[in-house]
Structure 1
């Protein structure tokens, strides 16, 4: 059970944000419910950042790859489950998702370069060598995409931290 209580009925700014989420995806995932119940402005900011990311230069598969790698490194079971499902919905195959979570090659050199780069960022508090920077550029990622990689990293870090604090109850299929 999540640590932070979520009221059964939202009002005011929280109700407005929940209505937007329900319209977009059909329901309010527990992580959004928890954030919105106690910080509707924080939820709005996160959703705006995700909207900017959606309009950015990365494919949905790349976005989900980034979010899955970061979530796996920090051990957020909620986000691993959510982004495994969302990754599948974006077109990533179950074997690719498994390999992403396990840090194994996916068979796609460009995706593998992204995974390595993001895993390095997550494991080194964002420190990358000149060689690692050169490798991600050599894989074909543009300067604009590096900005979007940073934004994807930031948005997932927020939800990872919140879910770890809250111990958010899982409402996505669990990943073994």
Structure 2
């Protein structure tokens, strides 16, 4: 299966504005965006949902922990590379970045509680136990945060699945952050 690497000129008209916004924000047009442009609705939907996720009460580092947890679980090499590059700017240390890339426990108890809660939400399709919710809340999170986790999972599940389907290649700028799924 082959997806087109659209340029702004070759993309469907409805995808051009979101593509231009990404180009303006990043300075280049990521290959993943070029391929997602095949569906203007998916591209716009992802950008809107991820933008909403950025406005949640979760800290920037907590949001990145969620994104990396979804990205590694869904084996999206593009997402893992992109967010590995972003993690230092939100305060993640090298050990935390390595742990997230490898799916290992984090050394920060609240961030680890978040990571485990994300995995629980995914494993139970949202039907988390009262105990799992209470454990999450015991680390300073709120019920609002629990629902914000659902928003983040939704946005980044969309992205990871679409990037895998389109076989989006890794952009040159992200090659230093290349990731391969660890052997099980």
Whether contact under 8 Å (1:30, 1:169) holds in the other structure is yes
Between the aligned partners of 2:32 and 2:101, the Cα distance in structure 1 is 21
Deviates more, 1:150-159 or 1:93-102: 93-102
Q: Does structure 1 conserve the Cα–Cα contact (< 8 Å) formed by 2:69 and 2:115?
A: yes
TM-score using structure 2 length: 0.85
Q: Secondary structure of the equivalent of 1:141?
A: coil
Alignment of 1:1-176 (within 5 A): 3-8=2-7, 9-10=9-10, 12-36=13-37, 38-171=38-171, 172-173=174-175, 174-175=178-179
Q: 1:66: Cα distance to partner?
A: 0.4
TM-score by length of 1: 0.89
- The ranges of structure 1 where at least 4 consecutive aligned residues each deviate by more than 4 angstroms after the TM superposition are none
Deviation at 1:126, TM superposition (A): 3.5
More displaced, 70-79 or 96-105?
Answer: 96-105
Q: Which runs of 5 or more residues in structure 2 are unaligned? A: none
Query: CA separation in 2, counterparts of 1:77 and 1:120?
Result: 22
Paired positions, count: 174
Higher RCO (C-alpha 8 Å, min separation 6)? 1
